[in-house]
Structure 1
Amino acid sequence: MRFPHVSLSNKLLQQETHTTGTPRSKRKLNPKDVIQKKIKRGEYTRQRRGKVYVSRRKDKRDVLCITTVNHPKLIEVSNRYGQKKIKP
């Protein structure tokens, strides 16, 4: 599924089907707090609507994620040069 949204994720969850994806930010039922909040590079914000988690992270661009499978969390990752970054 390419562009899931909150209501579709809830309907699929009732049928015991989990979703994960990157929705468009202008969907109607996206949480306004996550979409409109000003965040700086490297910051992360998330909100839960029922059992659906909607999160947004800013690196070079804003990335919006929706999931019903996992609780979003940040982990530390190192690249091949040994530099460490925190990513969801």
Structure 2
Amino acid sequence: MKIVMQLMNGFFDKGHSLFMDNFYNSFLFSSKLLRRLTYTTGTLRNNRKHNPKPINSAQLSVGETVANYAESVMIGKWKDKRTVTYISTRFDNEMVTYRNKRKQQKIIPKPLMQYNAHMKGVDRLDQMMSYQM
């Protein structure tokens, strides 16, 4: 949290959106950033301390989603091949049509579509750096 806050210094209170993976995201951190008018979207670890119990315990079938809203923070869970837990202070849990790399259409939660669109380059950079080590 401290590192992200230092990196974001100078960008707060301007309405920017921050896309983060599950290493940094949490309900409390997203709430803190929202108070500084900084929106967050990303994946979330299932075992985070303040995740809503109905989300953690939800048993979903493929294509199903469930969401919980508190203090303008949305935490959702969606099942595709695997279950994905996600968080957003910018997007609702609206389902949207998404075209994957193989040009196949899927219906997924909007926060995940936005997260995938904004994190593509980061994932590629991580992949390239792992080959160089």
In terms of fraction of residues, the more helix-rich structure is: 2
| Residue 29 (structure 2) pairs with residue 8 (structure 1) | yes
Q: State which structure, 1 or 2, has the greater radius of gyration over its C-alpha atoms.
A: 2
Letter of the aligned partner of 2:59 in structure 1?
Answer: K
Identity among equivalent positions (%) equals 35
Q: Which residue of 1 aligns with 2:96?
A: 75
- Closer/same/farther in 2, CA of residues 83 and 21 from structure 1, 3 Å limit: closer
Number of residues of Structure 1 aligned to a counterpart in Structure 2: 88
Q: 2:58: which partner in 1?
A: 37
Post-superposition Cα deviations, 1:18-76, rounded to whole Å, max 9, x if no partner, equal 11110110001001101101111111111101100001100110011100011120023
Q: Which amino acid aligns with 1:57?
A: W
- The code of the aligned residue for 1:42 comes to G
Alignment correspondent of 2:126: none
**CA RMSD of superposed structures (Å):** 2.0
Unaligned runs of 5+ in 1: none
My pick for the range that moved more, 5-14 or 78-87, is 78-87
Unaligned runs of 5+ in 2: 1-19, 110-133
What is the TM-score when the length of structure 2 is the normalising length?
0.59
Higher strand share: 1
Aligned match of 2:38:
17
Tell me: higher relative CO, structure 1 or 2? Use CA pairs within 8 A at least 6 residues apart. 1
Give the TM-score normalised by structure 1: 0.86
Structure 1 residue 64 and structure 2 residue 85: aligned? yes
